[in-house]
Structure 1
């Protein structure tokens, strides 16, 4: 349930009959210990980059997305078409093909690639968790090609002022949706949480600052041997929590300083995309 002033309270939610398939368990990863992890459709690569690093992304069949935070270093994306310099927070989208990242400082970089990419599919620490597809998660079908010729696209957060009624700062690619949520200064009010569920997609909650308690409840199915206790897992940053459908979940910032989450979905969310003005690069990345 959302508070009335939460922008998500107006989302259309389809009522679907339950499939009866087993519900996957949530997964929690400290990215300093497990820098490459995956969900059903996306691999997340966390790198503590250093000045002078040359990161080879491989030759990819799909797009690459690079999440740039306030702590990230400046860098240059190099493709066969040239070089693109990035020196502020935002989302970078690199077209299919070969690319490299030349790093010009110290700090974290997060890359997203499709889970089927040959150069990356065997690297995740939790690859065994997806030895078989999770039946409750819709498989990725790429959304339409972006407008214009293939090129590196950079969407800086500095060009997106806060706007009442919009939920975060959302960008999409053909395969991913990334939502830069606002910084939370101090703990979240425990009386104003937002437990909710998703019917058929996973949520990756990437903690880039502070600490969170992820509250997750697995619904009861007819087979009581599959029931799980509610989870209230405290995890710092950098970390990623993979939240499976249709678990009920909400995340509670708990650090007295600055807390920030970035939510990742694959494929892009239709419900967010249908909200006018929510997806900030919708003019370049059309819906199906």
Structure 2
């Protein structure tokens, strides 16, 4: 790549990436050692954000209630563990006020408007939001990192409304991995969650998967074990942002936000129990275009003008 105005930009071999590398650093929520944003009768609560995604990790006390009033858009709640009973209610779904209960180990999609979740026994959960709510953004310990919009990432645009209207939706997490299958992955209008079942021991380092995302960042949310995040910032024209390779190890619970364009591959380290979710906002189109990858694809349309690839006859 060459600086703007350099005549070598006209070469056929010149990189066509106008933004070059990323000046955005990785950002972390190390909930196992960071001071919580809130520590009160409901429990402990941390807030960490990326460009378009916000993670609210909670260690709830018995009887805790967490509410949203006039929430602008859909959000997800992840009940991370089994035996985490809950009651969730929403006031402004397509069918009016509604309430759902569950045993835990589930994903809940919550419609815009007023909503709340109560946990009679307490437990671990995460609320996943877009960064369209200023009150939530202000709670984030790393808010300053995103005071300036990452130029590699376009302005946030939520996906089309669900085919049957906004309402509470509940999905069970998987307890075992399916050979040869990603996920499970769910999406709503704002978020995509890829939350595999618990894994085994350390990753085989002869089978790493270094890759990058041109125009979106990624949150790697660790809920069990520990992970090494291998990250490399490609060189752009501004040497001020030629960051050295980084190899942070994060334990559970934690969230690591990996910027757009950064080459990365994470590896599990714990001897027996590792679990990490990958979260994106808005949903990833490339995942969504793969048949069978998204568990609730029939509930949420693709963006306007986008259709699933036509399968060739066998």
Q: Which of 116, 120, 128 in structure 2 is aligned with 1:112? A: 128
CA distance in 2, matches of 1:162, 1:228: 36
Between stretches 167-176 and 74-83, larger displacement belongs to: 74-83
Map of 2:80 onto structure 1:
69
Map of 2:90 onto structure 1:
79
What displacement does 1:184 show? 2.0
Map of 2:295 onto structure 1:
280
Retained in 2: the 8 A contact 1:51–1:103?
yes
Residue by residue over 1:10-64, the C-alpha shift from the partner in whole angstroms, topping out at 9 and shown as x without a partner, is: xxxxx96242364311112212425101111121101101211111223201012
In structure 2, do the counterparts of structure 1 residues 176 and 16 end up closer, same or farther at CA, with 3 Å as the change threshold? farther
Map of 1:181 onto structure 2:
196
Map of 1:237 onto structure 2:
252
Structure 2, unmatched stretches of 5+, are: 1-14, 37-45, 92-96, 304-314
Map of 1:133 onto structure 2:
149
In structure 2, do the counterparts of structure 1 residues 72 and 119 end up closer, same or farther at CA, with 3 Å as the change threshold? farther
What displacement does 1:167 show? 1.4
Map of 2:173 onto structure 1:
157
Residue by residue over 1:94-125, the C-alpha shift from the partner in whole angstroms, topping out at 9 and shown as x without a partner, is: 10001111112232110012212143121111
Residue 116 of structure 2 corresponds to residue 96 of structure 1: no
Residue by residue over 1:57-88, the C-alpha shift from the partner in whole angstroms, topping out at 9 and shown as x without a partner, is: 23201012101222572111122212110213
Map of 1:220 onto structure 2:
235
CA distance in 2, matches of 1:150, 1:134: 30
CA distance in 2, matches of 1:269, 1:149: 21
Q: Which of 158, 177, 182 in structure 2 is aligned with 1:167? A: 182
Q: Secondary structure at the match of 2:240?
A: helix
In structure 2, do the counterparts of structure 1 residues 17 and 72 end up closer, same or farther at CA, with 3 Å as the change threshold? farther
**TM-score when scaled to structure 2?**
0.82
Map of 1:261 onto structure 2:
276
Count of residues in correspondence between the two structures: 273
Map of 2:26 onto structure 1:
26
Larger RCO, structures 1/2 (Cα 8 Å, 6+ apart)? 1
Structure 1, unmatched stretches of 5+, are: 1-14
Rg comparison, structure with higher value: 2
Map of 1:11 onto structure 2:
none
CA RMSD of aligned residues (A): 1.8
Map of 1:194 onto structure 2:
209
